[in-house]
């Protein structure tokens, strides 16, 4: 009885919608063109695989985006967690400050970084005033720089996620192990490689997986920061779906894209957990 | 790792702090300095931009809406997850293992990709353009993780404590309220503030399910400011401060519990 509300909520608003996604994906369903609606079979999927270059382009960008973000966030997050795990003066305050972007929304991140990147209001103008670079740099409008400009903004709010999770796990490493290793003359690097990393193993696997899925799915930042542009260069697959649904009202096709995205994610997650032997402490 | 030298901590930490804080500072400068100023300190300080966004652009209403959705999601998530988490921790029932696996799987459901079916459901329930659609969607997406966290916590509380209360004549409910609930405070703080921050920040659901400007939430209002052709940067920054303030305050209070809560409850599963 106690679990009924959870069960009903999740069946009604997670499982049932997932089923209806698959149902819609087999339909022609376009709110703007209701006269064409009807059963479509696998036609949406055929269009998507063979006739839609934007599908492949957005999938490619999604993969690049996820890999770059997750790797950089993990490395920086791990370094940050190790630093704030040391004892030093001002530790509590430092933790609160460096973790704080975690609580900030994608739209707010965009608002802040738009101010920073804008050629008139941004950093570049002040750097140009000092003679360090040329006036008029607009990282978000330039196809050469837009990717890294977006990556940097997402890093800003993404690193704390890893730092918090890894710090939580670091605090459960037994101090005795380090002391014993230090007595045996193990260098700091060796202690890190042989004690810290193995201990963090499962936390790293789980957090990278959760984060990959999250980075793949999340659209807030790119939707508002670049709108997927310039020229669809920063369109991820979910962003493409959102645009299909919101602008072209082509629900049938958008749900076919959704289904493919879900299959890709599930497949990736299973393979990742298998390959990484999650839960098998050596 | 023991024995790192001072500078090995302070130099990288200082650099990272710079990366974290400069963007916040930039927003504050634009929010508080007068229109047309190019100073890099917010001085002379002005509140004209806050007046513009709060009264002129309707952020007062957006703020209220976001607060309502945030608090309602907080209460709904915590209560439902508390009941479900207790059941998962204390009762054996058929399909429990399947339920746990199912909850983990929901983490792979692309939230952003659920907008279409959810939109259809809310249309059937005549909940589109209603703040309740946001509360429901938020709560459902917060539930799996909250359930896992809370049931992990309850499992760590010795069952004997509760049984002792029953022996003393407490009902199951009273035993729970008197013995278990007080011990759950860190978990409740973590789950509740997660739910609040998530729903406060959520953009896509609010963008898709709400059409009426009277019912916009703060992120949607902020995105509107961004979309204007001639962006008023002072107003954009002031709107940003309004959006940041509640979550940053909540976060400053809970980040300690967050680290503790995660290391105590989540990882052991």
Q: What is the ipTM of this complex?
A: 0.83
Domains of chain A, start order: 23-87+154-275 (1.10.3720.10)
- Rounded mean pLDDT, A163-174: 84
- Among partner residues A3, A99, A105, which is closest to B201 by beta-carbon distance? A105
The answer to which of A13-22, A34-43, A181-190, B149-158 has the lowest mean pLDDT is A34-43
Residues 76-95 in A contacting B (C-alpha not used; CB under 8 Å): 76, 79-80, 82-86, 88, 92, 94-95
Share of chain B above pLDDT 90, in %: 14
| B59-214+245-266 CATH pick, 3.40.1350.10, 1.10.3720.10, 3.50.50.60, 3.40.50.720 | 1.10.3720.10
Chain A interface mutation, best of B27, B40, B102, B112, highest count of A Cβ atoms under 10 Å: B112
Helix ranges (H only) for chain B are 6-32, 48-51, 59-90, 96-106, 115-124, 131-156, 159-167, 172-175, 181-183, 185-201, 204-209, 218-227, 233-261
Q: Which long-range contacts (CB under 8 A, 24 or more apart) does B125-133 make?
A: B128/B209, B128/B211, B129/B209, B129/B210, B129/B211, B129/B212, B129/B215, B130/B209, B130/B215, B131/B65, B131/B68, B131/B69, B131/B72, B131/B210, B131/B215, B132/B72, B133/B205, B133/B209, B133/B210
Q: Given an 8 Å threshold on Cβ–Cβ distance, is A196 in contact with B1?
A: yes
pLDDT tens-digit map of B168-209 = 888 888 888 888 888 888 788 888 988 999 899 988 888 888
**Residue B139: its chain A contacts at CB < 8 A?**
9
Q: Given an 8 Å threshold on Cβ–Cβ distance, is B143 in contact with A6?
A: yes
pLDDT band at B100 (very low <50, low <70, confident <90, very high): confident
Query: Phi/psi at A130 (nearest 5 deg)?
Result: -85, 0
Distance between CA atoms of residues B141 and B123, nearest Å: 19
Q: What 3 state SS string does A30-62 have?
A: ECCCHHHCEECCCHHHHHHHHHCHHHHHHHHHH
Q: Is B215 a residue whose pLDDT tops 80?
A: yes
- Among partner residues A100, A113, A269, which is closest to B251 by beta-carbon distance? A100
**Residue A88: its chain B contacts at CB < 8 A?**
6, 9-10
pLDDT tens-digit map of A83-129 = 998 888 888 888 888 888 988 888 899 989 988 888 877 777 777 77
Q: How far is A44 from chain B (nearest CA, A)?
A: 16
Q: Are A111 and B222 in contact (CB under 8 A)?
A: yes
Q: Given an 8 Å threshold on Cβ–Cβ distance, is A241 in contact with B111?
A: no
Higher pLDDT, A265 or A229: A265
For residues A39-66, one letter each, b for 16 or more C-beta atoms within 10 angstroms of the residue's C-beta and e for the rest, the string is: ebeeebbeebeeebebbebbbebbeebb
Q: Given an 8 Å threshold on Cβ–Cβ distance, is A3 in contact with B87?
A: yes
């Amino acid at each position: 009885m106690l679990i009924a509300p959870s069960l009903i909520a999740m069946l009604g608003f997670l499982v049932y919608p997932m089923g209806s996604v698959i149902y819609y994906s087999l339909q022609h369903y376009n709110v703007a063109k209701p006269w064409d609606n009807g059963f479509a079979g696998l036609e949406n999927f055929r269009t998507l695989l063979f006739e839609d270059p934007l599908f492949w382009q957005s999938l490619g960008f999604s993969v690049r985006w996820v890999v770059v973000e997750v790797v950089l966030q993990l490395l920086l997050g791990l370094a940050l967690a190790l630093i704030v795990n040391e004892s030093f003066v001002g530790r509590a305050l430092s933790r609160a400050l460096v973790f704080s972007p975690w609580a900030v929304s994608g739209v707010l991140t965009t608002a802040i970084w738009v101010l920073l990147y804008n050629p008139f209001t941004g950093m570049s103008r002040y750097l140009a005033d000092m003679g360090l670079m040329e006036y008029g740099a607009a990282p978000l409008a330039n196809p050469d720089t837009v990717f890294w400009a977006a990556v940097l903004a997402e890093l800003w709010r993404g690193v704390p996620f890893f730092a918090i999770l890894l710090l939580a796990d670091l605090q459960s490493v037994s101090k005795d192990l380090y002391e014993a290793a230090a007595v045996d003359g193990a260098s700091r690097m060796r202690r890190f490689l042989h004690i810290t990393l193995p201990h963090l193993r499962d936390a790293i696997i789980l957090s990278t997986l959760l984060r990959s899925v999250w980075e793949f799915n999340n659209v807030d930042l790119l939707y508002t920061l670049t709108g997927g542009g310039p020229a669809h260069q920063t369109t991820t697959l979910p962003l493409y779906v959102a645009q299909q649904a919101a602008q072209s009202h082509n629900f049938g096709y958008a749900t076919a894209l959704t289904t493919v995205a879900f299959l890709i994610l599930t497949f990736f997650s299973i393979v990742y957990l298998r390959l990484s032997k999650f839960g098998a402490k050596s | 790792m023991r024995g790192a030298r001072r500078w090995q901590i302070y130099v990288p930490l200082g650099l990272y702090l710079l990366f974290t804080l400069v963007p916040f500072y930039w927003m504050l400068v634009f929010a508080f300095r007068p229109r047309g100023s190019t100073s890099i300190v917010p001085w002379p300080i002005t509140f004209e931009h806050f007046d513009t966004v709060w009264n002129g652009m309707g952020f007062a209403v957006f703020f209220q809406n976001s607060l309502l959705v945030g608090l309602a999601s907080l209460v709904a998530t915590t209560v439902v997850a508390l009941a479900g988490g207790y059941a998962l921790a204390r009762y054996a029932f058929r399909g429990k293992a399947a339920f746990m696996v199912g909850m983990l799987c929901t983490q792979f459901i692309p939230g952003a990709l659920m907008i279409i079916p959810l939109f259809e459901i809310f249309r059937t329930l005549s909940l589109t353009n209603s703040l309740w659609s946001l509360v429901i969607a938020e709560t459902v997406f917060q539930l799996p993780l909250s359930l896992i966290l809370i049931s992990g916590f309850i499992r760590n509380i010795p069952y004997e404590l509760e049984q002792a209360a029953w022996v003393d004549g407490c009902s199951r409910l009273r035993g729970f309220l008197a013995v278990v609930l007080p011990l759950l405070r860190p978990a409740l703080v973590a789950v509740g503030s997660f739910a609040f921050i998530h729903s406060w920040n959520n953009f896509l659901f609010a963008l898709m399910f709400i059409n009426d400007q009277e019912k916009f939430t703060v992120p949607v209002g902020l995105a509107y400011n961004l979309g204007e052709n001639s962006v008023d940067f002072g107003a954009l920054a002031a709107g940003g401060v309004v959006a940041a303030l509640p979550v940053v305050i909540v976060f400053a209070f809970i980040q300690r519990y967050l680290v503790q809560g995660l290391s105590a409850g989540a990882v052991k599963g």
